[in-house]
Amino acid sequence: MRVPIEASLMLAFTLLLAAGAVQAQEPGRIAGTVEEARGGGRLEGVNVVVVGTLYAAVTDAEGRFVLGPMPPGTYAVEINALGFRTERRDVILAAGAEAELAFRLRLPEVEVERIDAAALRRVLQPVEAVEDRHLREINAHETGELLRALPGTDAGRRSVLDFEPFIRGLGGNQIGVYVEGARFLAGSPFGFSAPLSLFDPSVVEWVDVVKGPYALTWGGGNLSAIRVTTRDAPAGTRLRPSFQAGYTSKLDALDAAGSLSGSSGKASYRLHGAYRSGDDYKDGGSQRIPADFRAVTLRGQAAYRFRTSTRFVLQAGYQDRGDLDAPGSVLSQGASDAADVSARFQTAWAAGPIRALDATVYWNRRAQRLEDSVAPDLSRPKLLALDVEQAQVGGRLAARFVPVKGWTLEAGGDVYSVLHDAVRQISGVASRNPEVFLVRDARITDAGFFAGGTRVFGTLEATGTVRLDVVHAQAELDVPSDYASVTETNLSGAFALTAGLSSVWQASAGIGSVARSAGAYERYADPASFRNAFFLTEVAGNPGLEPERSTQADLWLSASYPRLELHLNAFARRLSNAITVPPSPDYIEPPNTLPELPRYVNGKATYYGAEMAARYALMGEFVTIHGAARYLWGRNDLLREPAYGVAPAHVMMGGRLNAPANLFFLEGILRGVFEQTRVARSRVEGATDGYITADLHFGVMLPRAASLVLGVNNLTGKTYANHLNVRLALSAQPITEPGRVFFIRLRYGI
């Protein structure tokens, strides 16, 4: 790998010299006017941006704008005005010159609107996103791993292909995961893979994260939420192939993915396949971590556009995984398969009280098996395998209204029903029953209704949403119980105000409260029949659990200068009826010493924290520096100890060098993570040391829409573990991350 590193350094040095030459040239300006095409009147307050840079302006009372001073080069200037079509012009700016542009805005052609955005999506800064560019440049083996790039979010490693998402201390069932409107439930406490692991990163176009109880229009029980947008089947292209392949050292990981897409008339399609495999890896201290994996993913999409504003999309996917090491379980290997199908109809109108309609139906199923790779000792009972399965069906219908000028309303409903089963297989002369049900025919059904609206009062914008859910839970229990069938009604709501302090600064405040009913495993899981088979954190279900409620308040401040973007966000959250383990010292002992396993109970928890993100353009889009920081504090008030899943304080700084026309880039990232001594002892969390890591990435555009990305992660070979990583089954130590890792990725048509 010495040659790629030396080549990268030479290219970086060459690019720095080129950048210095560009900087020495006299900057220029881009000026112009914006007017309405129909009447010819000048438009005031229209946003004008230079695409791919931080240069921006707002038109004055005469409809004029000025961008710059800025380095000479080729730019794309874009106009966004409410009620008009977006316009874009390319301009060549010479050194010391002023380019003049004239925009005439027209009414838009009616396009299908995506109306499944979260409540408060337009104004709420707790909404973060992983952009398409980062998806192409990050060497991620699993979609959940991408969350480590966002402030306020993180992901704990379960294996090479499983990353459990965490959002401001929330995880598992507290986070709703949606893919193109379809809901995917969290994994089980028995080792079920996280939902994002079902999707190959190469098929993902966008990842949105809502950091709080504001995704009320997506579905019920979302204390926080994640939405994945996959790549659309392109229109207007007869046949378009795309391909990518990569290799990652340490893991000996190979991956390849290919797509075939195109269109015929009003119909378009996309077929996608991916294969990934890898081996055990060594951390920075040469400790070997079990990490074998193999995964095959297939996805297909077909779309039909009846007219400009109406389309129908059908999607289907399948994934098969095998030979997957499970280092966090006493069962050493796992295999799984998953399938999903969804259909979506969208239509929109340019005028009238009803502006958009969106309908989605979906079905998905997952099955996973964990088993011991060592031959059983038949002289005593032994856990041989664990089979977990869930099947879900659901749908959503929503409409957007504009009854009067200044008002935007949204209303609709959604429903899902999911069936859970989990069985342990035991072998041995003393075992009377070889199969033990942990969860049997447990079904959770949630029907929800929501309504919300946005009202603009000059520079002030108010947004609010209310939601009502009716949840029914039932299961087959070995012991008769009044809670074998339960129905609950949950009311949730959110509200936010946003004020434009100036043309640069914006301040907002929001508050929301959402209720979540207990999941199938939290209610009905009963592992007591073989409680010594799993690790210390095993907790039985409690059918009498009350819905937990998250109430969160947010304050955020953002600024957008021509060269600087700044975002600050602070929050406080109170969890009432939080679903947690019982307040007893016995649960830290090995389960086989207990007469009965502890069961989940309702408690209370408190969180607060802050995040910051900034980006500064030294030379427009050519040289930028960026940084982020986060801090999170959480306490389990029932147990009188720190809350589980609280990531330590984190600071990140990076710099990026972009060649003109994006011919190539060089980016370096430095991350510093503080030690974490506030840990949840009841959940067998242990303190972790702080660490600093460095990454270096280089990419170059090749002919025929191809690109090559080279990189090294953990440049210094640091031995470290993410605090949220799963614990090894025997030592209770968190899985350490790989040491120095080199990777190479070749892409064509992506």
How does the average pLDDT of the chain come out, rounded? 81
The predicted pLDDT at position 159 comes to 81
Residue 16 pLDDT greater than 90, yes or no = no
CATH code reported for the domain at 224-748: 2.40.170.20
Name the amino acid, one letter, at 97.
A
Distance CA 652, CA 669 (A): 7
Question: 466: closest CA among 243, 299, 707, 217?
Answer: 217
Is it the case that residue 572 has pLDDT exceeding 50? yes
DSSP run (H or E) holding 642:
strand 641-642
Tokens of 747: 């892409």
Which pLDDT value is given to residue 324?
84
The three-point CA angle 612-616-617 to 5° equals 160
Average pLDDT over residues 435-447: 89
Nearest-angstrom CA–CA distance, 437 and 423: 4
DSSP string covering 90-109 = EEEEPTT-EEEEEEEE-PPP
Question: Judging by beta carbons within 10 Å of its beta carbon (0-12, 13-18, 19+), is residue 178 exposed, middle or buried?
Answer: buried
Residue 518 pLDDT > 90: yes
Q: Is 537 a residue whose pLDDT tops 50?
A: yes
Q: Is the pLDDT of residue 698 over 90?
A: yes
Give me 337's structure tokens: 């398969």
Q: Using CA atoms, how far apart are residues 224 and 412, in angstroms rounded to an integer?
A: 20
pLDDT digits (tens, 9 = 90+) for 330-343: 777 788 899 999 99
pLDDT of residue 55: 77
Q: Which region among 442-456, 656-670, 735-749 has the lowest average model confidence (pLDDT)?
A: 656-670
Instruction: Tell me how far apart the alpha carbons of residues 547 and 464 are, in angstroms, rounded to a whole number.
Output: 23
Amino acid identity of residue 368, one-letter, is: Q
Instruction: Tell me which of 283-292, 372-381, 494-503, 583-592 is least confident.
Output: 583-592
How sure is the predictor about 305, in pLDDT bands with cuts at 50, 70 and 90?
A: confident
Q: Which residues in the chain are classed under CATH 2.40.170.20?
A: 224-748
pTM for this prediction: 0.81
* Mean pLDDT, rounded, for 665-685: 89
pLDDT the model gives residue 184:
87
Q: How many CB atoms lie within 10 A of CB 42?
A: 15
pLDDT in tens, 418-429: 999 988 877 654
454 and 404 in contact (C-beta within 8 Å)?
no
Which of the four pLDDT bands, split at 50, 70 and 90, describes residue 83?
Answer: low
Q: How far apart, in whole angstroms, are the C-alpha atoms of residue 226 and residue 300?
A: 22
Joined together, the tokens standing for residue 551 give 């109430």
Cα separation, 73 vs 498, whole angstroms: 36
Contacts of 375 (CB under 8 A, 6+ apart): none
HSE (CB half, 13 Å, CA atoms) of 587?
A: 21
Q: What pLDDT sits at residue 192?
A: 57
Q: How far is CA 379 from CA 27, 175, 372, 373, 376, in A?
A: 82, 43, 16, 18, 9
Residue 20 neighbours by CB distance under 10 Å: 10
Three-class DSSP category at 174: helix
Altogether, the residues listed in the chain come to a count of: 750
Q: 200 pLDDT exceeds 90?
A: no
Beta bridge partners of 203: none
Q: How far is CA 280 from CA 251, 252, 292, 317, 325, in A?
A: 6, 8, 5, 28, 9
Rounded-to-integer distance, Cα 562 and Cα 616, Å:
9
DSSP-derived letter for residue 194 is P
Long-range contact set of residues 683-687: C-beta below 8 Å, sequence gap at least 24: 683/537, 683/581, 683/644, 684/535, 684/536, 684/537, 684/588, 684/727, 684/732, 685/644, 685/723, 686/727, 686/732, 686/733, 686/734
Residue 337: CB atoms within 10 Å = 16
Q: What angle do CA 687, 583, 576 make, to 5 degrees?
A: 90
pLDDT digit string (tens) for 658-673? 887 668 889 999 999 9
Whether 301 shows a pLDDT value over 80: the answer reads yes
How far CA 255 is from CA of 201, 246, 258, 664, 746, in Å, comes to 11, 5, 10, 23, 11
312: CB partners within 8 A, 6+ apart: 303, 304, 306, 343, 344, 345, 346
What type of residue is 690?
G
The token duo for 371 is 């088993």
Rounded CA-CA distance 607/709 in Å is 39
Q: How many Cβ atoms are within 10 Å of 141's Cβ, its own excluded?
A: 23
For residues 539 and 680, give the distance between their C-alpha atoms in angstroms, rounded to a whole number. Answer: 15
Residues of the chain with CATH 2.60.40.1120: 28-105
Q: How far is CA 378 from the centre of its chain?
A: 45
At residue 129 the predicted structure's pLDDT band, cuts being 50, 70 and 90, is low
CA dist 720 and 728 (Å) reads 14
Summarize pLDDT for 279-291 with one digit per residue, the tens: 888 898 888 888 8
pLDDT score, position 382: 67
Q: Which CATH class is domain 28-105?
A: mainly beta
Interval 573-601 mean pLDDT: 68
